[in-house]
């Protein structure tokens, strides 16, 4: 098991379901105190009740004021040592039909949500003996995909932020990395599968195969596989790993 310092406090945005919940549960299992943050109070409280987290904080990452207030309250309970900036959203459209509002939504949720979360925790974190920031980006942050230009641009921005911030923090005890999953078996991808079925008339199995073909292993990634990579990056053993964008994608990248 990856070794964490004694009971760090981890904040996981988008932590109520999917990849975020798997990460939260893994951190709990490794001895961390975990706060999950998201928009749906019922989903977050269910995660707490199930033992996947200790505390819940309700905020939309695209609402800067609400996000900062929720993080400040979590930090006041216990200083935050680990930030997992996982919350995100994907919308698909051909570029010709992707208006400025779509680009703004994708940047606000997928990129600025990371920026605001990081800037909220960093002042307290960099003066502590240990800090970990992990942004959950996507293989879309490392390559292009058709029909998701706005989402892809936002995820590229996340990877660029990670690489720059890691250099700024290199003289501290804070590491900054990105984990870039391929298509993962989550609610978000389930929405993409439904969209493929609706637009193409394919069966669910055919739609899943359309996404899985990007992975040389011919399958969807599991949330736990992403969580395993995050847990290692949060460990004391990964103190020299910073500024990286690690693909969890079966060899796609």
In angstroms, the CA 224 to CA 218 distance is 17
In angstroms, the CA 227 to CA 212 distance is 19
Domain ranges for the chain, please list them. 9-182+221-248
Coil, helix or strand for 247? strand
Cβ contacts of residue 147 below 8 Å, gap of 6+? 92, 93, 94
Strand partners for 83: 11, 133
151 annotated active-site: yes
Looking at 3.40.50.1260, 3.40.50.720, 3.30.2130.30, 3.40.50.2300, the CATH number of the domain 9-182+221-248 comes to: 3.40.50.720
pLDDT by 10s per residue, the chain, length 253: 568 988 999 999 999 999 999 999 999 999 999 999 999 999 999 999 999 999 999 999 999 999 999 999 999 999 999 999 999 999 999 999 999 999 999 999 999 999 999 999 999 999 899 999 999 999 999 999 999 999 999 999 999 999 999 999 999 999 999 999 999 988 766 677 777 788 788 887 887 788 888 999 999 999 999 999 999 999 999 999 999 999 999 999 9
Helical ranges in 17-148 per DSSP H = 18-29, 41-49, 64-77, 100-107, 113-125
Are the beta carbons of 180 and 252 closer than 8 angstroms?
no
Coil, helix or strand for 220? coil
Are the beta carbons of 87 and 63 closer than 8 angstroms?
no
Are the beta carbons of 119 and 134 closer than 8 angstroms?
no
In angstroms, the CA 38 to CA 89 distance is 12
> Which one is catalytic: 55, 130, 147, 151?
151
User: How much is the pTM?
Assistant: 0.93
**110 secondary structure, DSSP code:** I
């Amino acid at each position: 098991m990856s070794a964490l310092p004694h009971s760090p406090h981890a904040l996981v945005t988008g932590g109520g379901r999917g990849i975020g919940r798997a990460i939260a549960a893994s951190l709990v299992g490794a001895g961390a105190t975990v706060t999950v943050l998201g928009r749906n109070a019922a989903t977050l409280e269910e995660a707490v009740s199930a033992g996947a987290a200790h505390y819940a904080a309700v905020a939309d990452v695209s609402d800067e004021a609400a996000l900062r207030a929720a993080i400040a309250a979590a930090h006041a309970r216990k200083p935050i040592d680990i930030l997992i900036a996982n919350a995100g959203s994907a919308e698909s459209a051909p570029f010709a039909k992707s208006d400025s509002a779509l680009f703004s939504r994708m940047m606000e949720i997928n990129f600025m949500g990371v920026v605001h979360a990081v800037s909220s925790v960093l002042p307290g974190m960099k003066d502590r003996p240990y800090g970990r920031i992990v942004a959950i980006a996507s293989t879309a942050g490392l390559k292009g995909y058709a029909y998701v230009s706005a989402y892809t641009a936002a995820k590229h921005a996340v990877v660029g932020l990670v690489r720059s911030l890691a250099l700024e923090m290199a003289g501290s005890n804070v590491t900054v990395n990105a984990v870039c999953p391929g298509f993962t078996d989550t609610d978000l991808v389930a929405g993409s599968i439904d969209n493929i079925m609706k637009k193409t008339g394919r069966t669910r199995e055919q739609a899943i195969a359309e996404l899985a073909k990007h992975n040389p292993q011919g399958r969807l990634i599991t949330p736990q596989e992403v969580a395993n990579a995050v847990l290692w990056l949060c460990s004391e053993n990964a103190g020299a790993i910073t500024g990286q964008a690690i693909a969890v994608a079966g060899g796609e990248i």
